[in-house]
Amino acid sequence: MADDAASHLRYIQYESDKENEYVSAMRQLISKDLSEPYSIYVYRYFLYQWGDLCYMAMDGKDNLIGVVISKLEPHRGGPLRGYIAMLAVREEYRGQGIATTLVRMAIDAMIARDADEVVLETETSNTAAMKLYERLGFLRSKQLHRYYLNGNSAFRLVLYLKEGVGLIPTAVDPYGSSKDLWGVNQGGSFGLRYPYKTHESPIVESKGL
């Protein structure tokens, strides 16, 4: 049934005038899958400032079945860093490329705003997510032990969008790498890579999360 319904999916950008409707549906969907519970203030933090980096997949009855929430800002005075904060797809719709499409839409929007790199964290045990992101060119840059409130560890993944981004200096954190208020682990840039070229790969669904 989900396969048939997938042919009627549509992808839309978040609209602030429908906040009450959308945020409620997002919280219900995301709370089932992510490792940490988020209050409504976390959603507002992202959506008020970077609503244009939030994309949703809707079924034929306008029910939310997938969402990606992101942000984009300078990282410690260095590269313009995109961050994929949340990604979720309803269980019965997984494996149909919906998550891949949502992530690509977010990355394309970041590229349009001149992003240098994109980072995220995912549980080390989440092999489906790891495969999805690595297919898109993300690299493992660091393992974060006991990163989540549930005690699970994470990998930080990074996607470099421009040549030499890993060499851009950033301000030194005197307290070392640590999470900020919203759970974003503030680390530096690593390596050198430019695998993602949006003009060569239009959004095409592939099997994924």
Per-residue pLDDT, 7: 66
Question: What is the CATH number assigned to the segment(s) 2-200?
Answer: 3.40.630.30
Residue 166: burial class (beta carbons within 10 Å; 0-12, 13-18, 19+): buried
Q: To 5 degrees, how large is the angle CA 62–CA 63–CA 66?
A: 115
Residues 6 or more apart whose CB falls under 8 angstroms from that of 112 comprise: none
**Comparing C-alpha atoms, which of 51, 94, 68 is closest to residue 11?**
68
Question: How far is 209 from 74, CA to CA, in rounded Å?
Answer: 29
What pLDDT is stored for residue 205 in this prediction? 33
Return the exposure string of 10-35: e unless at least 16 CB atoms fall within 10 Å of the residue's CB, then b: eeeebeeeeeeebeebbbebbeeeeb
Domain boundaries, the chain: 2-200
Q: With the C-alpha atoms ordered 32, 33, 39, 44, is the resulting torsion angle positive or negative?
A: negative
93 vs 164 pLDDT, higher one: 93
Residue 188 near residue 156 (C-beta atoms within 8 A): no
The dihedral through the CA atoms of 178, 179, 181, 186 has a sign that is: positive
pLDDT tens profile 145-181: 998 888 889 999 999 999 876 655 555 443 344 343 3
